[in-house]
Amino acid sequence: MTLDTSVHSLEKGNRRTGERPPTGRTSLTTEVPSPASPWWQGHRRSALFYLLTPLVAGGVTAATLGISLGGVVGYLPTATVDLLYSFLRMCAAYVASLGFALAYGYYAATRRQGERVMIPVLDILQSVPILGFFPIAIVVLAGLTPNSWVGPNIASVFLIFTSMSWNMVFGVYESVKTLPVDLREATDSFGVRGIQRFRQVLFPAMVNRLVYNSVLSWTAGWFFLVEAEIFTTNGGSALPGIGSYLSFAAGAHHGTAFLTGLILLVILIALLDFGVWRPLGHFAERFRYDQSPSGVGEVVGMGGTTTRFRRAAAYITRGVRSGVTRVSTPLVQLAAIPFRSASGRRRTEQHHPVLYYGILGGILVSVWLLLIAITVAIFNVFSAPIVSSVRGQMLELPLAMGSSLVRVTVAFAFCLSIALPLAILMSRRPRAARVGLPIVEVVASFPATALFPVIIFELLPYISGEGAAILMLITGMLWYLFFNLLSGIRSLPPDLEEASRSFGVKGRDFFAKVLLPGIFPAMITGSITAFGGGWNTLIVAEYLNVGSSQKFQLLGIGSSIDVGYAEPNGLPLMVAALLTLVLSVVTINELIWKPLYRRAVEKYRYD
């Protein structure tokens, strides 16, 4: 069943000319640039908006803080050089990601035996908080390379690569997978292979998803790049880059320096968006064939500029789904066995959630403790004895993990209460969307991590440590949830909305019977990705240490990793904290998100 069926007879005539069907019933009409017009035609206003916003905002802030233009110009060379370092890292990581995505995605999609292993592996990797591995990568690579700055640089590129590549891999994989069978058969029947096959069949099929995923990858990349550079400031030997620049500027309360760096960063991101991604997105639109192999999560609207994030979110959604539905969950089955045999009857976890989760929690905690014990033992055997202060912190790890979990959950609750009403507003009020979506996109494409130092050093007195940490977590989680919800609401079949209007179902009834069930799968996917973002953000949201006077530390798993990295004898703590975090995240995904997700797609899909 196609999603747009109620208008399908009308659309047939209009689709070829690229015009929207003339119905007032579509909840939101995006302005569609006709293919003949140059790519910037429809974007002139938003481009202006994009470039002017940082300048105006910067100017206003500078004026209120009493910062002179001369001061800004003074910091310009340093900030530019640092930004250039960061940009080069991004480019290196992106090129690597692109190559990896093409190779891995294509191989996984075309070789059955490859698929069976490669996609589950990717699924596990994407769910692990990659930033946690950054310190280990630094330590390992710094050990391998005698020159001290090569190691951290490779480590940071590697980190950005991991944050960029997985959604691109899913993009390639899905493009090849969803290539219509008759097209593939035609290709084979004419014996089209090699370069021609790639150029005329595979590339056109992939380019759309690849471009939209690249936009998302760069957004994620900036976030992690800045975070990684901030992280290195904790150890003393900071990586030169815009993240460490901002971190030091905020630590030293240099408002002018900080603002200079921030404006430069925003301008670079805006230029990239305007000069690279928009033309590319316009180019990719030409290769889009209207086929939605599976309904949920696919954005129906035609490609305007504001659909980029939603489209990307939809691709992510389907990536997560294809991963989640493929991987079996041995842990769930394992946990259910004793419970089932004890009761002797077929009972689901719904009947005894408290007992069920109590047992799971017990298992989790004992595994933690076991793991910590093993780590401590290993370090006792193979290296110098663990310093007592570090040992004390290692024993506190379960508590740290618990408080981090509470922090992320609270932040998630805030995110949900912001994102849900906002997404509903944006998708049900065309006027609000026309004004609001471009703003949301500008804000969402900006790496919130760049503001972390200023949150920590300037806002801390007003909102306390916990408040600052939760605020940072929200910035790292909100957009995953928002864009997933938005694409969920927009992929709600127009039929259902129309039937509701026709039968007079509105208000609370409409929300309870139509809207909420309709977006439930998108909400779950959004939650999974938001929590993923949250775990990653934790690494810098709980600890920052720039110089001796400026220190911010909360009890949490992220700060345990940071402390382990920063302190001279902290390696055992870092490894133990990382293992605890990874194990907890994987367990939470397996025990809570995957079952919920499976239930969501079973009951709440349209077909």
Residue numbers at the binding site for another protein (CB under 8 A): 1, 5-7, 9-10, 12-14, 19-20, 22-25, 34, 493, 495-496, 498-499, 501-506, 509, 513-514, 517-518, 603-607
Instruction: Please give the Cα distance from 86 to 90 (Å, whole number).
Output: 6
Q: Which is nearer to another protein, 22 or 275 (CB)?
A: 22
List Cα–Cα distances, 289 to 178, 279, 490, in angstroms: 11, 19, 19
Say if strands 543-546 and 550-553 run parallel, antiparallel, or are unpaired: antiparallel
CA 432 to chain CA centroid, Å, is 25
Phi, psi of 60 (to 5 degrees): -65, -45
Least Å from the CB of residue 291 to another protein: 17
Q: Which is nearer to another protein, 6 or 317 (CB)?
A: 6
Q: Which is nearer to another protein, 8 or 351 (CB)?
A: 8
Whether 565 and 574 have beta carbons less than 8 Å apart is answered as yes
List Cα–Cα distances, 341 to 330, 333, 336, 344, 415, in angstroms: 17, 12, 9, 5, 40
Least Å from the CB of residue 15 to another protein: 10
In 3-state terms, what secondary structure has residue 446? Answer: coil
Whether 28 and 430 have beta carbons less than 8 Å apart is answered as yes
Instruction: Please give the Cα distance from 145 to 447 (Å, whole number).
Output: 30
Q: Which is nearer to another protein, 551 or 603 (CB)?
A: 603
Q: Which is nearer to another protein, 74 or 293 (CB)?
A: 293
Least Å from the CB of residue 529 to another protein: 23
Instruction: Please give the Cα distance from 137 to 115 (Å, whole number).
Output: 28
Q: Which is nearer to another protein, 295 or 595 (CB)?
A: 295
Q: Which is nearer to another protein, 22 or 99 (CB)?
A: 22
Least Å from the CB of residue 311 to another protein: 22
Q: Which is nearer to another protein, 218 or 597 (CB)?
A: 597
Q: At what angle do helices 307-326 and 112-127 cross, to 10 degrees?
A: 110
Least Å from the CB of residue 32 to another protein: 9
Q: Which is nearer to another protein, 33 or 105 (CB)?
A: 33
Least Å from the CB of residue 297 to another protein: 15
Least Å from the CB of residue 290 to another protein: 16
Q: Which is nearer to another protein, 466 or 495 (CB)?
A: 495
Whether 154 and 89 have beta carbons less than 8 Å apart is answered as no
Least Å from the CB of residue 421 to another protein: 22
Per the rule left: phi > 0, alpha: psi between -120 and 50, beta: everything else, 404 is alpha
Alpha helix stretches (DSSP H) within 429-493: 430-445, 452-454, 460-490
Least Å from the CB of residue 74 to another protein: 48
Least Å from the CB of residue 432 to another protein: 20
Whether 375 and 572 have beta carbons less than 8 Å apart is answered as yes
Least Å from the CB of residue 319 to another protein: 23
Per the rule left: phi > 0, alpha: psi between -120 and 50, beta: everything else, 346 is beta
Instruction: Report which residue type is found at 502.
Output: S
Residue 170: name the closest of 218, 205, 213 by CA.
Answer: 213
Output the six-digit token pair for 332. Answer: 């769930």
Q: Which is nearer to another protein, 12 or 116 (CB)?
A: 12
Instruction: Please give the Cα distance from 563 to 129 (Å, whole number).
Output: 17
Q: List b or e across 369-390, with b for residues whose CB sees 16 or more CB atoms inside 10 angstroms.
A: eebbeebbeebeeeeeebeeeb
Q: Which is nearer to another protein, 7 or 530 (CB)?
A: 7
Whether 42 and 31 have beta carbons less than 8 Å apart is answered as yes
Q: Which is nearer to another protein, 188 or 498 (CB)?
A: 498
Q: What is the DSSP string of 563-603?
A: HHHHSTT-HHHHHHHHHHHHHHHHHHIIIIIHHHHHHHHHH
Least Å from the CB of residue 13 to another protein: 4
Least Å from the CB of residue 29 to another protein: 10
Instruction: Please give the Cα distance from 346 to 81 (Å, whole number).
Output: 64
